[in-house]
Amino acid sequence: MIAGQGRLAPAVVAALEDPQVHALEGFAPDIPATPFRLERLVPFLDHLLDSGVTRVVFAGAVRRPRLDPEAFDPRTAQLVPRILAAMQSGDDTALRTVLDIFEESGLSVCSVSEILPDLVPGEGILTGTTSEADRRDAARAAAILRATGPLDLGQGTVVAQGLCLALETLPGTAAMLDFAARHANLRPNPEGARGVFYKAPKPGQDRRIDLPTLGPDSVTQAAAAGLAGIAWEAGGVILLDRDEAVARADAAGLFLWSMPPDA
């Protein structure tokens, strides 16, 4: 398991039997993990294969590491053009390059949903009720993410009364919801629909890595932004700690809606 930061890695590791857990140096997860450096990726892959590893799962957030030119081993150094090109691309391209390099070494990469299908909700309303205006806002949000997907910007947006309040970019979801909270007073009709935070994977993205993730903190942040609820593409988003997320949504009066992709 390649563990990243946040609450996904502990949830996945708990479901694995006797896993080897590694993490990119500088991005220590909340569980014990042996660090590796991107500058020594090829020896690291050799080490995994030598110790009998055949399958790898990625779980958790990793940012682009800074690279130390002196730390490269000769074989990883030959990958530098690919690594640099990947790091200068959007998230999706960068992660696809990482998956490619792992698979070229002979390891197979499996998805979190293969290991823990319950983490990826199917269609349905988990709590609360959606108004017609909420459903319109969610549908517009889904349309915005479908259209911006090829640009590889982010996996979330906030739409209220048909208007896009925020679109996720490099700084991520929490930064976007903080932005929406700062500017919550801009809704045209202060008595109207409060708006929806929507998440979906990018169209065509590799679902073995970097699925958008929601959890109890998302609910708290959406409530702080004055939103009516959270919607996401059913089957394409990880929901961490579902019971706590639902409890917080109930307490704050938010809906949680795992939307059919064609809603």
Using CB under 8 A, list all residues that contact a copy of itself: 63-64, 66, 87-90, 143-144, 147-148, 150-151, 153, 161-167, 169-171, 175, 179, 182-183, 186, 188-190
- 57 bridge partner residues: 110
Min separation Cβ 167 and a copy of itself, Å: 5
Min separation Cβ 247 and a copy of itself, Å: 31
Of 147 and 251, nearer to a copy of itself (C-beta) is: 147
Alpha carbon distance 123, 120 (integer Å)? 10
Kindly give the pairing relationship between strand 156-160 and strand 163-167. antiparallel
| CA-based torsion, 52, 54, 60, 66: positive or negative | positive
Quick check: 41 and 101 in contact, CB under 8 A?
yes
- 213 bridge partner residues: 238
Of 1 and 217, nearer to a copy of itself (C-beta) is: 217
Other residues' Cβ atoms within 10 Å of the Cβ of residue 81:
9
Of 13 and 158, nearer to a copy of itself (C-beta) is: 158
Alpha carbon distance 259, 72 (integer Å)? 45
Min separation Cβ 119 and a copy of itself, Å: 27
| CA-based torsion, 147, 151, 157, 163: positive or negative | negative
Of 34 and 93, nearer to a copy of itself (C-beta) is: 93
Of 110 and 147, nearer to a copy of itself (C-beta) is: 147
Q: Dihedrals φ, ψ of 188, to 5°?
A: -55, -45
Min separation Cβ 130 and a copy of itself, Å: 18
Of 75 and 182, nearer to a copy of itself (C-beta) is: 182
Other residues' Cβ atoms within 10 Å of the Cβ of residue 40:
18
**Sheet of strand 2-3, all strands in order from the earlier edge strand to the far edge:** 34-36, 22-24, 2-3, 55-59, 108-110
